[in-house]
């Protein structure tokens, strides 16, 4: 017989097997999820959840699909949080720290409480990547924030009203487009294809009988 634990979904008590995640426990309890459920694998950030274990002062945040239930866990899901996403044109966006001043000036109101970092469901150093953004160090901000799933828990805890995931998104796109080194072999290949350099090779493959294709495939050399 599997061991059962008591959990409280939005304050209401349910008894569920202890080996379930919060998400599967909700389903076990009878919820047909529409909100707060996406990839079920820790990548999409749909299932941000806050909880407190009875008697514990600390309020914790997690992804419901990645976290096991515990006895006396009080659970509230946070399927949507009103993040601010500013609209910009990636082709003309300024690649200086002034862009942050223009689009997300509230990052300069950070009081350094570190609540964002403490609440991050991905254990990222959120306050640090915001500090990089303040300085216009997009590369470091991009790197530090890379594993962000944009669940929004950090922003829900921020007294300065910062939309951290959107700030990081902007930094990553600027870094990817403007600051990362260009790629010569990619540009060359695109030009060669446009120039028709491979047309003959491809056309030959379009008509080749299946037997010859098999021959070609089964005897191709494979890079070590």
Partner 1 sequence: MYSEKFQKSLALVEAAREKNIALEPDRMTAKQKEDLLAAFHPDYKKDEFQELKIGPNKGEKVPTELAEILQAHSRISASSIDLENPDYETDVLIIGGGGAGSSAAIEADNAGAKVMIVTKLRIGDANTMMAEGGIQAADKPNDSPATHFVDAFGGGHFAAKRELLSQLVCNAPEAIQWLSNLGVEFDKTEDGTMVTTHGGGTSRKRMHAAKDYSGAEIMRTLRDEVLNRNIPVIDFTAAIELILDENGRAAGAVLMNMETKELMVAKAKTVIIATGGAGRMHYQGFPTSNHYGATADGLVLGYRVGAKLLYAETLQYHPTGVAFPEQIFGALVTEKVRSLGAKLVNVNGEVFMHPLETRDVSAASIIRECSERGNGVDTGNGLGVWLDTPMIEEIGGEGTIMSRIPAMWRMFAKYGIDIRKEPILVYPTLHYQNGGLDINPDCMTTNVENLFVAGEAVGGIHGKNRLMGNSLLDIIVFGRIAGQSAGAKCKDVTVGKLTLDHIEKFEAEIGKAGIDTEKVSPVLLPDYTRRK
Among positions 72-111, residues that touch partner 1 (CB under 8 A) are: 85, 87-90
Q: Which stretch binds partner 1 (CB under 8 A): 7-15, 66-74, 108-116, 154-162?
A: 66-74
Site string for partner 1, 138-157 (x = CB under 8 A): ----x---xx-xx-------
Q: Which is nearer to partner 1, 54 or 191 (CB)?
A: 191
Alpha helices by DSSP H, listed for the chain, are 22-28, 98-103, 115-119, 126-134, 138-144, 153-156, 164-174, 184-194, 199-207, 210-218
Burial of 186 (0-12, 13-18, 19+ CB in 10 A): exposed
Q: Does 31 bind partner 1 (CB under 8 A)?
A: yes
Give the shortest CB-133-to-partner 1 separation in angstroms.
Answer: 15
| 11, 30, 82, 105: residue in contact with partner 1 (rule CB under 8 A) | 30
Helix (H) / strand (E) element for 6: namely strand 4-9
| 67, 77, 155, 163: residue in contact with partner 1 (rule CB under 8 A) | 67
CA atoms within 13 A on the CB side of 185: 0
Q: Does 214 bind partner 1 (CB under 8 A)?
A: yes
Q: Does 180 bind partner 1 (CB under 8 A)?
A: yes
d(CA 43, CA 41): 6
Q: Which is nearer to partner 1, 21 or 117 (CB)?
A: 21
| 13, 54, 135, 189: residue in contact with partner 1 (rule CB under 8 A) | 189
d(CA 77, CA 54): 17
Q: Which is nearer to partner 1, 113 or 202 (CB)?
A: 202
CA dihedral of residues 125, 129, 135, 136 (deg, nearest 10)? 160
- Nearest to 68, CA basis, from 128, 125, 21: 21
Give the shortest CB-97-to-partner 1 separation in angstroms.
Answer: 17
Q: Which is nearer to partner 1, 110 or 124 (CB)?
A: 124
């Amino acid at each position: 017989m599997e061991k059962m634990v008591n959990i409280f979904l939005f304050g209401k008590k349910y008894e569920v097997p202890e080996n379930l995640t919060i998400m599967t426990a909700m389903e076990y309890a009878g919820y047909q999820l529409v909100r707060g459920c996406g990839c079920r694998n820790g990548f999409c950030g749909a299932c941000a959840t806050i909880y407190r274990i009875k008697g514990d002062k600390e309020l914790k945040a997690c992804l419901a699909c990645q976290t096991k239930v515990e006895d006396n866990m009080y659970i509230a899901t946070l399927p949507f949080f009103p993040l601010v996403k500013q609209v910009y044109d990636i082709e003309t966006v300024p690649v200086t720290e002034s862009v942050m001043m223009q689009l997300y000036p509230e990052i300069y109101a950070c009081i350094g409480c570190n609540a964002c970092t403490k609440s991050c469901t991905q254990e990222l150093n959120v306050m640090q990547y915001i500090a990089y953004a303040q300085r216009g160090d997009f590369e470091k901000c991009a790197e530090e924030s890379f594993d962000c799933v944009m669940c929004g828990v950090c922003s829900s805890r921020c007294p300065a009203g910062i939309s951290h995931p959107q700030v990081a998104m902007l930094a990553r796109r600027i870094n990817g487009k403007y600051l990362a080194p260009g790629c010569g072999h990619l540009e060359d290949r695109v030009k060669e294809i446009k120039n028709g350099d491979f047309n003959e090779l491809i056309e030959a493959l379009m008509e080749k009988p299946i037997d010859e294709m098999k021959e070609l495939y089964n005897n191709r050399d494979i890079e070590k």
